[in-house]
Every structure is written in structure tokens, then in C-alpha cells.
């Protein structure tokens, strides 16, 4: 019977077989011989080596046979960079990548229908399984359950709400941008998506400034309210100058994300979680490179999503382990 690639793209089975054989026959790279290495192996080693070589050969044939190389060469992986003051318009496959890095759509919108959606981009509303929202909800609940004081409860609620809203707003924005033609709704969700970046930066610092003892010269009290002032000013600027002065907007993100961290870097090595905070911060800063690479690199925004997810996971791990440790009695019970 025909394999899925032939059924999906309508290519005859014989053409796939001939294409695979043609690519193999035209390959100028010699297949390395393993006879010399197998000669010095034990019988078990020779059997394992033969099985590995056979498996690699099968995988290579499957790649040549099942991957639609012609489609991959012809697909439009990215659009041109937008003009100043305009938002970047992702291609169909970039739209799908943006959605799938925050949510998985239903089978009617699966990747096998990318060509059909490009040919007939009718607005549709997918049922989205919120991949990052559900774990962030359970993660926030874990913080609340571990809280044993009012400052811990309050910090868990603030950080957890920001974490959930960050992924929720982003998922809905990219889903609507991918499936709907309602410009007003797109604009509202786009503004909300950008505003949540400021909120989440402030909320990420909030548990540390509330629960972690800092030196007197670390300006912890001032930073406690300053981060929310900066977040409010950033949101106000973003709403007024939406999609204008993008480099300045990115500078505000970086300034707000890096400036409060200087107070933590001045602490001694006794500061718990400092290593995780540094790693997460580097992931965020590294992801900004892809955040500003729309039109320069395919799937740039989807890669940015992955950096955000990794950085948020590292920071959550630090908050959970150092600010909300499991009590000794709880460990004994478990």
C-alpha cells in the first residue's frame, strides 16, 4: 500500500521509490565500511554493529522515501521584513509554528493541511489545547499549596497569575492571528500579548524581592515598587506607540529585565538560586535575538517562544526550590 507521504501529497508510489534510488545512486559520499572495525569486536559487538548499521541504513532510506523534498524546496518559509511601523506577517507555516509552540490545534488544522490552508486561507477557529497554560496552572497551584505564610501566598498568586496569563494571552493571540481575519480582535490581543511581557518581568522578580532576604544596600524595598512602576510605564508606552520605535521598545524590555537583577548580582554566593536566575536571564536575552529576527530567519518567533518557555521553567524551578521548599514534616509524610 501507499505510505502516508504519497497519500498526503498525491505523489505516485513508484515516483518516490525511483527518487530515493536516484538520490542514492547519485550520491558521491562513499558508505563507510565497518568490516575492519567489526573484525576486532567480540561476537556480541559484531552483532550489535551490524544491527546498528542496518538500522541507520533503514533510517536513511525512510528519510529519502517519506520526506517530500520537492515540497520543502518550494514552500515559503518566511516573508520579507515589514516596513517601519507595521507588524511582521508570518507565512502560513510560521503561523502554525507560532501556534504549536504555545498550543496544539485540532486534527482539522494539522500540518498535513498546510498546503490546503495556504491555497484557501479561510478564517477558522481551532480548538486549542493550551500546552503551556495547563502546566503553568498546575505549577502555580503547587506554589500556593506550599505556601505557609501570607507573603508566600501573595507572591504565589501574583507570580502564578502572571505566568498563566502570559501563555494564555500569547496562545489566543497567535491562534486568532492564524485563523481569523478580525483586525480589531487581532490588534487587541497583540497589544495584550506585548503588555503581558512587562507584567511577567515584574512578576518574576516579585517573589524574590518579597521573600528573599537581601542586603540593605541592595535597594530591595525600592525595587519592590519600582518594577511595577516600570511595568506600568512600559505598558503605557507600548499602547501609545504600538508597532512604532520597535528598537526602543525592545530596549525597554531588556532594561526592565536586567536592571533589577543588578541588585541580586551584588549579593554573595549565599544567595540561593542565583545560578538559576543567571541561566534564565541569559535564555531570555538570547531569545531576544530571535524576537527581533522576523523576516531574517524562518520560525524566528516560534524559536523565541521556546526560549521563553525554557527561561520561565528555569526561574520557576528556582522559585519552587529556594523560596517554597517542602517542609521537613511534609517530606517525612511523603
Known binding residues for Zn(2+): 174, 301, 305
List the binding residues. 174, 301, 305
Cell of 216: 540593605
Residue 149, CB-side half-sphere exposure with 13 Å CA sphere: 10
Q: Three-state DSSP class for 326? A: coil
Measured from the Cβ of residue 201, the count of other Cβ atoms closer than 10 Å reads: 24
DSSP string, 138-194: HHHHHHHHH--SHHHHHHHHHHHHHHHHHHHHHHHHHHHHHH---HHHHHHHHHHHH
**Residue in 142, 199, 149 with CA at minimum distance from that of residue 320:** 142
Q: Three-state DSSP class for 200? A: helix
CA distance 134 to 152: 22
Q: How far is CA 49 from CA 40, 63, 253, in A?
A: 11, 21, 52
How many whole angstroms from its chain centre is CA 214?
32
Amino acid at each position: 500500500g501507499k505510505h502516508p507521504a504519497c497519500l498526503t501529497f498525491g505523489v505516485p508510489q513508484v515516483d518516490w521509490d525511483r527518487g530515493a534510488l536516484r538520490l542514492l545512486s547519485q550520491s558521491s559520499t562513499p558508505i563507510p565500511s565497518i568490516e575492519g572495525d567489526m573484525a576486532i569486536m567480540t561476537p556480541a559487538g559484531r552483532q550489535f554493529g551490524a544491527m546498528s548499521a542496518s538500522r541507520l541504513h533503514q533510517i536513511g532510506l525512510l528519510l529519502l522515501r517519506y520526506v517530500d523534498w520537492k515540497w520543502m524546496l518550494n514552500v515559503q518559509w518566511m516573508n520579507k521584513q515589514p516596513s517601519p511601523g507595521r507588524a511582521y506577517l508570518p507565512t502560513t507555516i510560521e503561523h502554525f509554528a507560532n501556534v504549536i509552540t504555545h498550543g496544539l490545534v485540532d486534527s482539522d488544522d494539522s500540518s498535513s493541511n498546510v498546503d490546503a490552508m495556504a491555497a484557501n486561507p479561510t478564517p477558522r477557529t481551532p480548538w486549542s489545547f493550551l500546552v503551556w497554560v495547563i502546566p503553568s496552572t498546575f505549577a502555580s497551584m503547587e506554589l500556593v499549596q506550599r505556601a505557609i505564610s501570607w507573603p508566600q501566598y501573595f507572591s504565589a498568586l501574583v507570580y502564578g497569575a502572571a505566568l498563566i496569563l502570559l501563555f494564555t494571552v500569547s496562545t489566543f493571540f497567535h491562534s486568532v492571528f492564524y485563523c481569523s481575519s478580525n483586525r480589531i480582535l487581532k490588534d487587541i490581543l497583540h497589544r495584550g500579548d506585548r503588555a503581558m511581557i512587562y507584567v511577567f518581568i515584574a512578576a518574576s522578580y516579585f517573589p524574590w524581592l518579597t521573600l528573599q532576604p537581601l542586603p540593605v544596600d541592595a535597594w530591595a524595598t525600592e525595587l519592590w515598587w519600582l518594577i511595577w512602576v516600570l511595568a506600568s510605564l512600559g505598558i503605557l508606552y507600548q499602547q501609545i506607540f504600538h508597532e512604532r520605535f520597535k528598537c526602543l521598545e525592545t530596549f525597554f524590555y531588556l532594561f526592565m529585565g536586567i536592571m533589577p537583577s543588578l541588585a541580586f548580582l551584588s549579593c554573595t554566593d549565599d544567595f540561593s538560586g542565583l545560578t538559576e536566575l543567571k541561566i534564565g536571564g541569559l535564555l531570555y536575552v538570547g531569545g531576544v535575538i530571535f524576537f527581533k529576527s522576523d523576516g531574517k530567519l524562518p520560525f524566528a518567533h516560534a524559536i523565541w517562544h521556546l526560549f521563553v518557555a525554557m527561561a520561565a521553567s528555569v526561574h520557576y524551578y528556582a522559585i519552587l526550590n529556594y523560596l517554597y521548599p517542602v517542609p521537613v514534616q511534609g517530606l517525612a509524610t511523603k
